[in-house]
Structure 1
């Protein structure tokens, strides 16, 4: 189908984009890569009178490292996440996850900001950002504010972002030296959402888990930050008992629904396998 008619805006700064949102209210929507919004417009599931293209806003671009924090502009593409030397050195799990998103054609255009901002529980980056304890910088009529990724997602497609705000940047604390990482994903085919995916960060001291962070993707109506699963590993050697406790706690925190990717019990089984793999691989990388 063809989208309904709309007025196209292409501002060059954040303030102008916010002003257009204020002026047109519910009739306006920002567009980044467009992989979520354009299909909805074509199906007439989203009818926008005003479309605000963020491509010309330089302040939304770029990847930088200052001190112990990596900052990623919302308009950075998945391809740029993969090819960034800064990220490869400071937070390599981001590249690992981005390589599992869709296909190269999508990754050249799809943005990290679009992936985290629209609240789709099937997207990969929201759970990863929760695992990394990232925070989102939001720009709106009253200036900027920061919201933790672990507090941003409220329900499927509902987030803490106000309608007149734009997600501008993502701030990520650099993991401590020696932290092991893994992003594991099971999907039916290239380009599909995950049946289940998991992000894991681990730090070991003398063979004992000194720090752990675990998040799961597409197993509830929001990404699942599995705090109890992380706690189950803390202070323990990563033997079968500890990993089993962590997996059980993580699965308990999920709430999948049956769909064309399988029934609930199948999804939980896949999630348990994926998480165990992620923990094993993260532990093997920890030093």
Structure 2
């Protein structure tokens, strides 16, 4: 019995010893494994951090756009410092004619007058920019009346009324002097000579220059009831297509004629009128 038991006990002891030895080895590797795993995990985190850092460029762009939006125009107003009297639309060289006490001038997009930078030109209005605000100027009083602004008040309406009164009375003396006889308008030279600056020429009329089939023409957008041009037979929405029987060579040509009235004895304008755009010739004699 003892002889049989001894080998059994001996084998059990060997098995237990082997198990303890193997458990120590396994414990060592199991303990080391988390360290290795954490190290790899940190490496992965580091790589993720690098990617986020790289994509930070996109985040910066988004912040930049937000900043631009904050600095954009905050208000829209009706322009009071001066007014416009003409718009010249062209694919490459659009401009507007401004009118004020200095006599007026042509302006292109990007140019500045009295601190107002010309921003955009449309068919019947232009937009100026100053101190991060937008200022609108219109060819007609109706355009001004329909303009709605956050800052609109009684002062704006008063300003519009004053402009209407000015354009209505500035040519009253001349209005009574111009006569129409036998298909021709007779115009006194001494009175016309007062109209040699942009401010005077466009005191009672607003025009829009257009290029149609490669030919330049002028559309009358607004004309005051007491304007000298009204007395000369012109009407709102007429198209002036020729002067002295010839096509216009430039947008400044009509103005040059006014500025050279002292040397002109006769003048004719060819216009298109009505829906059918029928041609009509207006003749003038300057005495």
TM-score (norm 1): 0.24
TM-score, structure 2 normalization: 0.24
> Quick check: which has more Rg, 1 or 2?
2
Greater share of helix residues, 1 or 2? 2
